[in-house]
Structure 1
Amino acid sequence: MLESEQIKQILRLDDAQRATYFIKEVVKQNQLWILSDEHGCVMLNTEDEDCVPVWPNKEFAQAWVTDDWQACQPEAISLNKRYSRWSHGLADDELALVVFPSQDEQGLVFYPDELEHELKQQQQSIKKR
């Protein structure tokens, strides 16, 4: 559980810093968070991509449960499930991921294989310590 002061500090990070925090936190917690409802997971659209937004902690995903998305619930996806099913499914559906988007929907976009590579690199660097 994150403290409110921690949340405020993290939200002040820029897109690249939030992505770095996301990678480290997701590996540490062994899960990432999405928002979903009875129709599936929430999507964001960029000019070029349809994206699934992902967050490092439940608190950040929960903050998006407003307005059009008030029927959504944060859902944890384990890294094992992400590697075994999600990466291929997202790639097959030609979907990207927007990592830890800010409240104004800004964030870095990763293709599924790129994000998987970053997460696995982080796991390897932790194992070496």
Structure 2
Amino acid sequence: MNEKEFYSVIKLPATKRYEYFIKKVVDWEEVWGLYQDGWAMTKDDNGNLLIPFWPRKEFAQYCAIGEWEGYTPELIELDKFLNEWLPGIKKDGYKPSIFWNNYDSAVMEVEVLLQDLKRELDNY
């Protein structure tokens, strides 16, 4: 990915970044998180715990600043994300924060994210 493409994607509205996330994680069969002695987490305005995910290593690395300084991008295989991560997140009462860009993200219910990913997988 070149720099121009990177910055054009990172500046998209959260809903468009979410659509990009769905297509790209299915294409590449990978999801990225940030890790340092535990996975990066944050809270929404209501105090709900969120776990951020990105479609590419470069986007995750871009967000390893502030409270996540020193965190490194970690790969999660799509199959593991679908079958282990999302059920675990739901059980723990967390929500996925999709494609944070240091400004905003698409915060989704686990069921919606799972449904959207499965729908995209049906295209293959």
When normalised by structure 2's length, the TM-score is 0.93
2:7 alignment partner in structure 1: 8
Percent identical among aligned pairs is 28
1:124 alignment partner in structure 2: 122
2:40 alignment partner in structure 1: 42
Q: Which segments of 5 or more consecutive residues in structure 2 lack a partner in the other structure?
A: none
When normalised by structure 1's length, the TM-score is 0.90
The number of aligned residues is 123
1:83 alignment partner in structure 2: 82
Taking the aligned partners of 2:111 and 2:30, their CA distance within structure 1 comes to 17
Question: Secondary structure, in 3 states, of the residue corresponding to 2:80?
Answer: helix
Matches within 5 A, 1:1-129: 2-38=1-37, 40-48=38-46, 49-104=48-103, 106-125=104-123, 127=124
Instruction: Tell me which stretches of 4 or more aligned residues in structure 1 moved more than 3 Å.
Output: none
Taking the aligned partners of 1:73 and 1:42, their CA distance within structure 2 comes to 9
Residue 44 of structure 2 aligns with an amino acid whose one-letter code is: T
